[in-house]
Amino acid sequence: MKIDVFTLFPDWFDWFLSQRHVRNAVDAGNELRLFNYRDSTPLGGGQVDDAPYGGGAGMVLRVDVVDAALRAAYVDGREPSRVLVLAASGRQLDDVLARELASEPHVALLSGRYEGIDERVRDHLASDAVSIGPYVLSGGELAAMVVADAIMRKLPGALGHADSAVEESFSEALEGAPEYPHYTRPASYRGWNVPEVLLSGDHARVREWRLEESRRRGADGSGED
Ligand code: ADE
């Protein structure tokens, strides 16, 4: 699949692009492309934002600038199947949405800076808005990386073991619940012991225990990995 990120800070993604699972996904034929709004702005002096109508603090990314960036990127007519604006008020990212997006052939992520993006982008240029949580970030770049990461780890070949993304937190295999706890050697450390069942070699009991732990974590809301 293709993921296109529109941003004013493409170099923020250098680190992300160098991560092994991202490189693996790219080597497997997927693409992560970056587009800088400033490269295609129709305004002079590289301008991309303006003061908000009605007054208020901060600057707003202009709709004509975002439109120009999309037109320049898709001049060949190969438009994305989903265009997502990153916004704290959007649909909250979860495993269902990550899976949905991973099954798309081509997704564009529009990050804003400053106070936000002109609402007409969401109304007329985007298909949906996505949030990575109910808090406000200084811009959409980190959110775009989170969304791209959640998508890319679901793509075949991104992770070392094909199974790692199947039975992870919130997956169908775990009935949407958080993942069960993991342990490794030593079996006992400072009196902290690995649950006996995991040392038993009894695969059926291990499986049952893991599902039970996963359900318990789901029920008490302690969804950490
Ligand atoms: N931009 C600012 N805050 C955000 C959030 N929580 N999710 C996605 N994009 C954002």
- Kindly report the protein residue whose alpha carbon is nearest to atom 2 of ligand 1: 137
Model confidence over 80-127: pLDDT tens digits? Answer: 999 999 999 999 999 999 999 999 999 999 999 767 899 999 999 999
State the distance from the centre of ligand 1 to the C-alpha of 70, rounded, in angstroms.
20
Lowest mean pLDDT among 41-45, 97-101, 103-107, 219-223: 219-223
More confident residue, 162 or 24: 24
Q: What pLDDT is attached to residue 220?
A: 74
State the distance from the centre of ligand 1 to the C-alpha of 18, rounded, in angstroms.
23
C-alpha span between 158 and 35 (Å, rounded): 23
pLDDT at 145 over 90: yes
State the distance from the centre of ligand 1 to the C-alpha of 136, rounded, in angstroms.
5
Instruction: Tell me the domains of the chain and their CATH numbers.
Output: 2-152 (3.40.1280.10), 172-220 (1.10.1270.20)
186 CA to centre of own chain: 34
State the distance from the centre of ligand 1 to the C-alpha of 132, rounded, in angstroms.
6
Model confidence over 52-86: pLDDT tens digits? Answer: 999 999 999 999 999 999 999 999 999 999 999 99
Average pLDDT over residues 195-210: 96
Lowest mean pLDDT among 5-19, 97-111, 153-167, 199-213: 153-167
Residues within a 6 A CB radius of ligand 1: 86-88, 131-133, 135-137, 140, 143
Q: Which of ligand 1's atoms lies nearest the C-alpha of 135?
A: 6
Angle, CA 50 vertex, CA 16 and CA 142 arms, to 5°: 15
Kindly report the length of the chain. 225
Q: Are 159 and 170 in contact (CB under 8 A)?
A: no
C-alpha span between 63 and 69 (Å, rounded): 10
C-alpha span between 182 and 151 (Å, rounded): 23
State the distance from the centre of ligand 1 to the C-alpha of 188, rounded, in angstroms.
42
Q: What pLDDT is attached to residue 160?
A: 67
Q: What mean pLDDT value characterizes the chain?
A: 92
- Kindly report the protein residue whose alpha carbon is nearest to atom 7 of ligand 1: 131
